[in-house]
Amino acid sequence: MADLDAADRRILEVLQRQGRITNAELAERIHLSASACHRRVERLEAEGYIAGYVALLDARRLGRPTTVFVEITLASQANELLDAFERAVARIPDVLECHLMAGTADYLLKVVAASGEDFARIHRQHLARLPGVARMQSSFALRRVVETTALPL
């Protein structure tokens, strides 16, 4: 972040919330010329500050309103087992996120499902077959209180 000046930070703040803004609108918003703004955005992309652009979809509208957080503890911490687990979990389309954790569980997964019954299917067909799992605990989200993809700058 030390390499980012105030204009870079403003660009990133705007793009996090409005990824489809035109370069002209972005330049006007942050008080730069269009060409200077474009050069900065290209540099931020090239240096990896901007990892990509996506459309954020509404899971509810797409029939996936149920979010389940799954804590998984493995039988061992052997590198081969960790690698096998991570390869297998990456192939499950219903898993939106998988984090290696410090604490009581080894991994935390964020899973989307159509319903409780659909999660039971995901559990039976995918999660229960993951390699090396010693313990699994699932928690159903009741309501989303805060959700953002914007990082604090």
Quote the tokens at residue 153: 């700058």
**Looking at this protein, which amino acid is placed at residue 2?**
A
Architecture of domain 6-46: Orthogonal Bundle (1.10)
CATH 1.10.10.10 domain span(s) along the chain: 6-46
Asked whether 41 and 11 are in contact (CB, 8 A), the reply is: yes
What is the second-level CATH architecture of the domain 66-140? 2-Layer Sandwich (3.30)
- pTM for this one? 0.89
Q: How far apart are CA 13 and CA 150, in angstroms?
A: 8
CA 151 to chain centre: 12
The Cα 149–Cα 17 span in angstroms is 8
Chain-wide mean pLDDT for the chain?
96
The rounded distance, in Å, linking the Cα atoms of 71 and 139 is 8
The tens digit of pLDDT for each residue in 51-110 reads 999 999 999 999 999 999 999 999 999 999 999 999 999 999 999 999 999 999 999 999
Every domain range in the chain assigned CATH 3.30.70.920: 66-140
